[in-house]
Amino acid sequence: MEAGIALTGTEVKSLRAGRVNLRDSYATVEKGELWLLGMHISPYEQGNIFNHDPLRPRKLLMHKYEIRRLLGKVQRTGYTLVPTKIYFKNGRAKVEVALARGKTLYDKRQALAKKEAEREMERAFRRGDWRE
């Protein structure tokens, strides 16, 4: 879903410069409002005293019925809201929020085994063992 985002002036300038990191960020519903936590927007270089806290919680702007619908889905076990994309639309900053489910234990084990196998192959190529 698409949501607007409440930003300060220097945050918008940093966002336009592409100085944003969505890694480890997620959205949560508190008191009927949608908040984006963990998104890092670097301070604007020419911002001096008007700069912002890079990791401050930011309010996402959605209709109440949309927030209630998302809250119903998030309350199920294992689901969370994650931002997938941030962009400008008609001059306003927008965030694309998706409903995501965490990995189960066996998924994690499979991913670790695959990663370890790839590392072993890479080591073998570096050593030259693959010719034997």
**For the whole model, what pTM was predicted?**
0.73
79 SS3 class: strand
pLDDT in the model for residue 132: 56
Domain that holds residue 122: 103-132
Does the structure show a pLDDT above 70 at 20?
yes
Question: Is the same domain home to 62 and 119?
Answer: no
Question: Which residues are registered as beta bridge partners of 47?
Answer: none
59 SS3 class: strand
Question: Is the same domain home to 97 and 107?
Answer: no
Question: Is the same domain home to 33 and 74?
Answer: yes
pLDDT bucket at 118, cuts 50 / 70 / 90: very high
pLDDT in the model for residue 63: 94
% the chain with pLDDT above 70: 97
Does the structure show a pLDDT above 60 at 126?
yes
Question: Is the same domain home to 121 and 57?
Answer: no
Question: Is the same domain home to 57 and 69?
Answer: yes
- Rounded to whole angstroms, how far apart are CA atoms 45 and 24? 24
Which long-range contacts (C-beta less than 8 Å, at least 24 apart) are formed by 40-47?
Answer: 41/7, 41/11, 41/14, 41/15, 42/14, 43/10, 43/14, 44/10, 44/11, 44/13, 44/14, 44/17, 47/10, 47/13
pLDDT in the model for residue 117: 92
Question: Is the same domain home to 67 and 127?
Answer: no
Mean pLDDT of the chain: 86
Domain count, the chain: 2
Residue at token pair 């911002």: 47
pLDDT bucket at 57, cuts 50 / 70 / 90: very high
Question: Is the same domain home to 72 and 112?
Answer: no
pLDDT in the model for residue 105: 72
Question: Is the same domain home to 47 and 96?
Answer: yes
Question: Is the same domain home to 85 and 118?
Answer: no
